[in-house]
């Protein structure tokens, strides 16, 4: 988003996007959490993007990965705005805006990963498990391993 985002200035729903109006197929529910639910939504997003794209498949794959840079830039812009680090703009964003931009980064990465492999969920869970195994002390789950490794930076190196 190039303009500052406020709680009262949410963009109008996109009539061409099946997710902007939160149809029942992707609307939040009161059911118990389903670990696969985000991946079902990602699958639907990829299908929608594939149907709407007129680009060759290889070009579309590259652009979905490059889209991550755009989204990370928007997250950075929101942090700068939330902290008031641009004297010309002042406090142009809130921390809620930062949260939303980080969610956009995550969803965009999930879409890019699913575009590259139909096994996106398994690839992601396996990678997350390997990261968790490097965390010192008890792992976050029994299947995460011993957790005796060393963490540097974010743990994703």
Which tens digit of pLDDT belongs to each residue from 64-107?
999 999 999 999 999 999 999 999 999 999 999 999 999 999 99
| % of the chain residues with pLDDT over 70 | 66
**Strand, helix or coil for residue 90:** coil
Contact 74, 3 (CB under 8 A): no
87 burial (CB, 10 Å; 0-12 / 13-18 / 19+) is exposed
**Token code pair at residue 153:** 């930076």
Please answer whether residues 71 and 104 qualify as being in contact, where contact means their C-beta atoms are separated by less than 8 angstroms.
yes
Q: What is the pLDDT of residue 31?
A: 52
pTM higher than 0.95 = no
Which range is least confidently modeled, 60-69, 109-118, 147-156? 147-156
Q: What is the pLDDT of residue 147?
A: 47
The per-residue DSSP string of 1-70 comes to --S---TT-PPPP-TT-TTTT--TTTS--SSPP-TTHHHHHHHHHHHHHHHH--S-HHHHHHHHHHHHHH
Asked if pLDDT for residue 3 goes beyond 50, the answer is no
- Provide the residue count of the chain: 157
Taking alpha carbons only, the member of 101, 102, 82, 100 closest to residue 92 is 82
Task: List, for residues 52-67, the tens digit of each pLDDT value.
Answer: 999 999 999 999 999 9
**pLDDT for 33:** 63
pLDDT-based confidence at residue 136 (cuts at 50, 70, 90) = confident
pLDDT of residue 138: 64
User: How far apart are the C-alpha atoms of 147 and 140, rounded to whole Å?
Assistant: 9
pLDDT at residue 142 is higher than 90 = no
Reported confidence tier of residue 133, pLDDT bands at 50, 70, 90? very high
Residue 103 is predicted with a pLDDT of 98
pLDDT computed for residue 35 by the predictor: 84
Specify the pLDDT at position 34: 77
């Amino acid at each position: 988003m190039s303009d500052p985002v406020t709680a009262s200035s949410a963009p109008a729903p996109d009539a061409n996007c099946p997710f902007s109006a939160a149809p029942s197929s992707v609307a939040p529910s009161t059911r118990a959490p389903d670990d696969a639910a985000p991946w079902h939504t990602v699958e639907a997003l990829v299908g929608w993007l594939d149907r709407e794209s007129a680009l060759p498949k290889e070009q579309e794959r590259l652009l979905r990965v490059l889209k991550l840079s755009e989204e990370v830039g928007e997250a950075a812009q929101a942090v700068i705005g939330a902290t008031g680090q641009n004297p010309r703009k002042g406090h142009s964003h809130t921390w809620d805006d930062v949260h939303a931009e980080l969610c956009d980064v995550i969803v965009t990465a999930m879409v890019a990963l699913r575009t590259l492999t139909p096994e996106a969920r398994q690839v992601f869970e396996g990678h997350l498990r390997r990261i968790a195994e490097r965390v010192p002390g008890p792992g976050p789950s029994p299947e995460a391993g011993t957790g005796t490794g060393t963490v540097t930076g974010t743990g994703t190196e």
